[in-house]
Structures are given as structure tokens and as C-alpha cells.
Amino acid sequence: MDIVLLGPPGAGKGTQARRLSQTLKIPHVSTGDILREAIGDGKSPLGREAQEYIRRGELVPDGVMVDLVEERLRRKDAAQGVILDGFPRTQAQAEALSTLLKRQGRSVEHVLLLDVDVEELTQRLSGRRVCKGCGAVYHVNFNPTKESGKCDRCGAALIQREDDREEVVRERLKVYERQTQPLIQFYKERSVLHPIQGQGTVEEIFDRLLKIVGRPH
Ligand code: AMP
């Protein structure tokens, strides 16, 4: 089953995608995580190319992203489907994804659109903190760690993503509106779009998603 999580930055795509992946036992493919890992590496050409775009809150060029996803979809663990988080983000990417999946006799089955108002998105992103060690995500007010600045799971230090700074967040929200929002219509026309109220507890939202994709037996 191939699922796309769509929604603005801060809508909770990563959190929900991780849960869906555990429950449905299909891999979570976050293009943002893949790029950040490549940057962290310090040596990879992909990381070097992506770094400046990410820092500015802009999108990495479509060609780079499509190659990256094509490569990921070819891996064995992706044979039964994937949960895409942060891809596609443009119409060209959405078209390329359809082509890639079609080659394997597959198609996007569900597009889960997480709907959250702009004020809440800004609050969520500005207070978001990420563990340097294991990638766990926290929020200074809504989901704080037991010990300040230290991950509950692995004890590593928490950091603020560079692109969660206020000026960059504003740019990312604009980019979403301009380049990604048109995908709502794209997937609506293909009858796979499911708008979901993205405010509430993580559990409540997860339940809404499971109602659409179905609980595994
Ligand atoms: P995310 O973690 O999904 O918020 O992604 C962080 C940043 O990575 C974005 O602001 C973009 O600069 C870049 N990025 C991630 N996915 C894509 C994509 N599908 N197309 C272009 N840029 C992307």
C-alpha cells in the first residue's frame, strides 16, 4: 500500500508517518530526513547540493528529489509499499511519482492531508526540538522532555532545526502555499485525497488516519 502524507510544515506528517509505519509494517520514507542525513554526513554531494536550499526554506530541485525517491523505491523493503512524508511537494514530483509507481504496477492509494491552521503551525514549529542522537521530536511546551534539553529516549542533546527559525518558517509556509498546495487538486481529481483534521492529540489524529487506511488484521 502506497500512502502519501500531505500537509504544511509542522502539520505532524513525520509523527504520524512513523506511527503508521510501525502499525502497517511498511517503511517510512521522509525525504527531509534523507536530506538531513546526507548533510550530516558532510561528504555526500547530495548533502552539499541540498544544504543551501534547506537553510533558506526553499525546495531542493525536482530532478534531485525524484532521483532520490526512485532509488529509495527500488530497495527491497519498499516492495510492499511506502509511507511518503514530504514527497511529493510539487506537481512535477507528483507526476514523476505516478510514473515510478506505475512501472511496478502500483499507484498512490491514499493521500492523507493533515489540516492545521497557520497560527498553530507557527507555534508548533518554533517550539519544536529534535534529538541529535535518535531523531525523536519534542516541543518545549506541548511535549517537553523530562530533563530540559535532553532526550527521554537516548539521553542525547536536543537541537532546534535551523529551518525552524522564524524567518525560515515564514518562507517554508509560503513555499507550501505556492508549490505544494496545488497537489490537493491533483489528488482530488484522482479520488485519493482524504482531508483530516490535524489538530488534537497525536492519538486522536492517528485514529482518524487509521479509519481511512484500515487497521491491519
Ligand atoms: P521536511 O523535513 O519535510 O520539512 O523537509 C525539510 C526541507 O527539505 C524542506 O524545506 C526542503 O528544503 C527539503 N525537502 C524535503 N523534501 C523535499 C521535496 N520533496 N522537494 C523539495 N525539497 C524537499
What is the tens place of the pLDDT at every residue in 99-135?
999 999 999 999 999 999 999 999 999 999 999 999 8
Give the three-class secondary structure for 111. Answer: strand
Supply the residue whose CA is at minimum distance from atom 14 of ligand 1: 32
Q: Is residue 161 annotated as part of the catalytic site, yes or no? A: yes
216 pLDDT exceeds 90? no
Atom of ligand 1 nearest to the CA of 172: 10
Task: Check residue 135 and give its pLDDT.
Answer: 87
Which structural domains are found in the chain, ordered by start? Answer: 2-116+180-213 (3.40.50.300)
Task: Check residue 217 and give its pLDDT.
Answer: 72
Residue whose C-alpha is closest to residue 2's, from 91, 79, 92: 79
Supply the residue whose CA is at minimum distance from atom 1 of ligand 1: 32
pLDDT, averaged across the chain: 95
Q: Is residue 172 annotated as part of the catalytic site, yes or no? A: yes
Q: What is the pTM of this model?
A: 0.94
**31 C-alpha to center of ligand 1: Å?**
6
Asked whether 85 and 14 are in contact (CB, 8 A), the reply is: yes
Burial (CB count <10 Å: 0-12, 13-18, 19+), residue 140: middle
Q: How confident is the model at residue 168 (pLDDT cuts 50, 70, 90)?
A: very high
192 pLDDT exceeds 90? yes
Q: What is the maximal distance between C-alpha atoms in the chain?
A: 49
Burial (CB count <10 Å: 0-12, 13-18, 19+), residue 111: buried
81 pLDDT exceeds 90? yes
